[in-house]
Structure 1
Amino acid sequence: MSAFNRFSAAALRRLIGVLLILLTLLWANPAAALTSSTSAETAQLFELHCAGCHLNGGNIVRRGKTLKQKALKRNGVDSEAAIATLITRGKGIMPAFADRLSEDEIAALSRYVLEQAAVDWQASP
């Protein structure tokens, strides 16, 4: 008995329909399928590598060097590229993370910092 004989034509049509809908949604917005897990992973990265000094976007070492939107603009690090450079190279007493984080992790953290700053760190873990 072949696999096709075990399923009715109607069941196969429903299955194909569901698969087509899923593929269409993923094709239309592939990032949407990864957003929640990626955000959670990035939040964990932030907790592990950054929150020791920057809990909730603050700065326990240098008061004016927070990750709040106003401070990021004032200090000229209000773009993903600028934040990525700072994470990669470090500055002052902030250590460089080039040897501890991948480029993808640094890029994700840069986006995360900007996203959290935009909502004043209200959605942070």
Structure 2
Amino acid sequence: MLKRLLVCCLVVSVWLSTSAVAWAEPAPQLFDVNCAGCHPNGANIIRRGKNLKQKALSRHGYTSVDAIATLITNGKGLMSPYDDRLSEDDIINLANYVLEQAANNWQPAK
């Protein structure tokens, strides 16, 4: 009986974890919908110096996924927080995407 219960718990746990991943929005689409309005191609149409280019991210201390995820979650200055619109997984995906794009100078993938 205990063995069956443990197997059922394991199956449900695996199903829930894979379901969450399957529902996660791809980072480029998340960026296009939530960020590109102010940050097209990593620029910033509101404040030029606060762009998402490598140099600006470094200058402002946003050099890690955690730092960028915190900024996305809480917002800062003119940037609104996104914690009420995006899941934690989506925020982490966006933060990774921003770092990857900045490292590639926001060039399209070939």
What number of residue pairs does the alignment pair up?
Answer: 87
- State the SS of the aligned residue for 1:67: coil
Alignment of 1:41-120 (within 5 A): 41-120=26-105
Whole-Å Cα distance in 1 between the matches of residues 30 and 72 of structure 2? 12
Task: Using the aligned pairs only, state the percent identity.
Answer: 61
Runs of 4+ in 1 over 2 A off after TM superposition: none
Bigger radius of gyration: 1
Deviations 1:33-75 (A, max 9, x none): x9xxx8x821000000000000000000011000000000001
Report the TM-score when normalising by structure 2: 0.75
Query: Which residue identity lines up with residue 58 of structure 1 in the other structure?
Result: A
Q: Which residue of 1 aligns with 2:11?
A: none
Report the TM-score when normalising by structure 1: 0.66
Once the 2 structures are TM-superposed, how far is the Cα of residue 123 of structure 1 from its aligned partner? Answer: 1.9
Query: Which residue identity lines up with residue 121 of structure 1 in the other structure?
Result: W
For structure 1, list consecutive stretches of 5 or more residues without a partner in the other structure: 1-33
Once the 2 structures are TM-superposed, how far is the Cα of residue 78 of structure 1 from its aligned partner? Answer: 1.3
Query: Which residue identity lines up with residue 113 of structure 1 in the other structure?
Result: V
Whole-Å Cα distance in 1 between the matches of residues 65 and 32 of structure 2? 19
Q: Which residue of 2 aligns with 1:9?
A: none
Structure with the higher helix share, 1 or 2: 1
For structure 2, list consecutive stretches of 5 or more residues without a partner in the other structure: 1-20
- Please report the RMSD computed on the Cα atoms of aligned residues, expressed in angstroms: 1.7
Highest relative contact order (Cα 8 Å, sep 6+), 1 or 2? 2
